[in-house]
Amino acid sequence: ISLHTAAPELPLVDIATTRVSAKDQDQDHTLHLAHRAGQLPGFAVRLAAGDGGHLDAEAISEMLGDDADARANVRSFRACVDGYRNGTHAAVVATCEDQVVGFATFTLNVEVDPLISCFQLDDYVDVDAHRKDGYADLEECVLNPIFSHKRAFMMTEAMRLL
């Protein structure tokens, strides 16, 4: 669907990926793309841990291909799966119909005091009401573009699981 930038958004746009022309940023239309596979039921996010996490790493390797960046991402994912045992790292995988379609890796137990002072979080959140060890850094997030409209769901599920 191509919509004028001033047009009100349609409900259908929520399931689409929005693209602006890379050649002409001042264009008066945006393109909204949706793939029918992106609407399949069963999109889920789960923790990758233990031996199952290493099986997930094989599926991620297949999803990403075989270039240097992909191999580095898979190594990082495996390290996060291993780090879950000692509480330093975690990884989640997104699946649809039992196929891995994305992943995210995290460093756990991040020092939060610098974030509180830098971003003045205590103006927005009662930081004393939250555990000091309940924070994490998002290291990597990769999701098949067909499911890009599910990225926010993936992140909220990851936060719930961690």
User: Rounded to an integer, what distance in angstroms lies between the CA atom of residue 93 and that of residue 142?
Assistant: 9
pLDDT for res 141:
93
Q: Do 143 and 92 contact (CB within 8 A), yes or no?
A: no
Domain ranges of the chain: 2-34, 40-161
pLDDT for res 1:
47
User: Rounded to an integer, what distance in angstroms lies between the CA atom of residue 118 and that of residue 156?
Assistant: 24
Write down the CATH number for the domain with range 40-161: 3.40.630
> Over the stretch 16-50, which tens digit does the pLDDT of each residue have?
666 555 666 666 766 665 555 556 567 899 999 76
Prediction pTM value: 0.72
